[in-house]
Amino acid sequence: MKKQLKLNLRKNFTVIIALSIFTQAIIAQTTANEIMDEQALITVHAEDAFLPSILAILAKESGYNIVTDPNVNRQDKVSIHLDEVPINEAINLVVRAVGLSYEKVGNSYLIAESKKLKEEVGVTSHVITLKYAAAMDVKNLLQDISDQVQVDIPGNKLLVNASPKKIAEIINVVKAIDVPAIQIMLETRLIEVAADGEEQLGLDWSKVSSYSTILAENGVPLEEGAGSRVPDDQTLGQLPATMGFDRLSELTKKDKTGILPKYFSRQLTAFELTLDMLLRSNKAEVLADSRLTTINGREANIKLVDIVPYILSSGGVGGQVQVQKEEVGIKLNILPTVNTDGYITVKVEPEVSTIFEFIGPDANIPRVKSRISSTTIRVKDGQSIIIGGLLSNDKKQTTYKVPILHKLPWIGKLFTSKGTIERKTDLVIQITPKIIVDAYTGISKSSDVSSYETYVNEKYLSGSKSDTGNDKNDEKNNQSDSSQGQGD
């Protein structure tokens, strides 16, 4: 296929050029079926013609879109004499004759300076090494930005194939994502309480968990007025000064080491006191007392289970035998999420399962009874969550025997008896989430915490020196008083 075209463009030749939104000049545009074969030959002769005029003719005859960068000098002139050359070669020669570069994108040619063209559409490779985030997770987040991202899982790296402009955009996004995650320590206790013990003591776990009274040997006061030395947000009421209660030891005094103030002391909450009472009376048992550390937004799990195997047979001659397993016990899933204000949202899903009975032809398949609960709560850093009400009613067959006599022949059965023991229990779960403070936490302290720290530092730590000076002044005053007394 050969197309002959002879042109003689003069200085007075003008071409109307439309500008695109991208601030580029669209010289010409045709439909896909009008696009000629790149191997089609074209003959062009032009003398001292403007570059846009030449490009307009090439676009019209080739059927390709030709787009130029707005920074391209439209006053550039070119003389061209081409006989029977392919269209793509003609475009290449014209563009390079004026010191520009081009890139073919689909059915269009983009013409611009080499540097600008490389930034916009040039493809280069770049490796991004991640410090904290998982490479696969970051790739999934970058899908809407670029699909040319590959993952090196062993090295936790990303390989990006894109233009320099796109790579710079991806790097900025990765910097915002690849930061140390907040760590949360979960202090967890699973306590099994006998139901009869709760009834005898009249316990209501919902009320116990709502009380935040602190009994302290040396509590830190928030106010110097009459009343309790327990902080206001941790007490149920104020003790009148007229009741004759003596105040606790002065908090500003140092201990025997001369270092720590005496207000550092153990504190017991209402829940701790109740639990201690149940444990001492053998009405409760601590099943687990663990400390888990997890990443913000990642689930932590605790399992206290027994694995019960049982056999399933397909029957018949040559039947297959399969060994199945059933997990029976306590499962606890905890999902903590730290908010920007320092509060922690905790999703707790406890599951308690027991074997109710054995069924099947051989009575070997366990029938499991489960109790599942799910709750989500928002608490302060260090505040405890108490979940109760997972009741269980276990029955156990027991044989009672009279020592020695139950072994007598024929009459030994008279000294034995069978009975059923029914045991009701309540599973109480205590979870205390605490944010682990490190070089990066990603959250700001609440105003209550900050003001409390400022109060303690100003009143008790920074004021220790002034207190020492006051003590010396008091000693001098006492000495002067005693000397005056002697003189009298």
pLDDT for the residue numbered 261: 44
| Tens-place pLDDT, residues 31-53 | 333 444 556 777 878 787 777 77
pLDDT band, very low/low/confident/very high, at 345 (cuts 50, 70, 90): very high
At 364-404, the pLDDT tens digits run 888 888 888 888 999 998 888 888 877 777 776 777 788 88
Residues 93, 301: Cα–Cα separation, whole Å: 68
> How is residue 23 annotated by DSSP?
S
Q: Which residue has the higher pLDDT, 140 or 95?
A: 140
DSSP state, residue 301: E
Higher pLDDT, 488 or 166: 166
- CA distances 339 to 307, 386, 443, 476, Å, are 38, 21, 7, 55
Report the candidate in 189, 228, 233 with the shortest Cα–Cα distance to residue 212: 233
Nearest 10 degrees: CA dihedral of 402, 407, 412, 416?
40
Query: pLDDT above 70 covers what percent of the chain?
Result: 60
Residues with Cβ within 8 Å of 167's Cβ and at least 6 positions away in sequence, in order, are 124, 126, 160
Decide if pLDDT at 293 tops 80: yes
Q: How much is the average pLDDT of 253-269? A: 44
Nearest to 115 by CA among 161, 165, 162: 165
pLDDT digits (tens, 9 = 90+) for 452-468: 556 555 655 554 444 44
Q: 């550039």: which residue's tokens?
A: 76
Question: In the chain, what is the straight-line distance between the N-terminal and C-terminal CA atoms, in Å?
Answer: 135
What six digits make up the tokens of 175? 């910097």
Least confident of 361-370, 416-425, 440-449: 440-449
- In the chain the domains, ranked by start, together with CATH numbers, are 41-118 (3.55.50.30), 124-179 (3.30.1370.120), 187-212+264-455 (no CATH)
Quote the mean pLDDT of the chain: 69
Question: Please, which contacts does 250-258 make with residues 24 or more away whose CB atoms are closer than 8 Å?
Answer: 251/218, 251/220, 251/221, 251/460, 252/460, 252/463, 252/464, 252/467, 254/464
pLDDT tops 70 at residue 215: no
Q: What would the DSSP string read from start to end of 94-163?
A: HHHHTT-EEEEETTEEEEE-HHHHHHHT--EEEEEE-SSS-HHHHHHHTTTT-S-EEEETTTTEEEEEE-
Model pLDDT, residue 299: 93
Mean pLDDT, rounded, for 244-265:
43
Supply the pLDDT for residue 118: 66
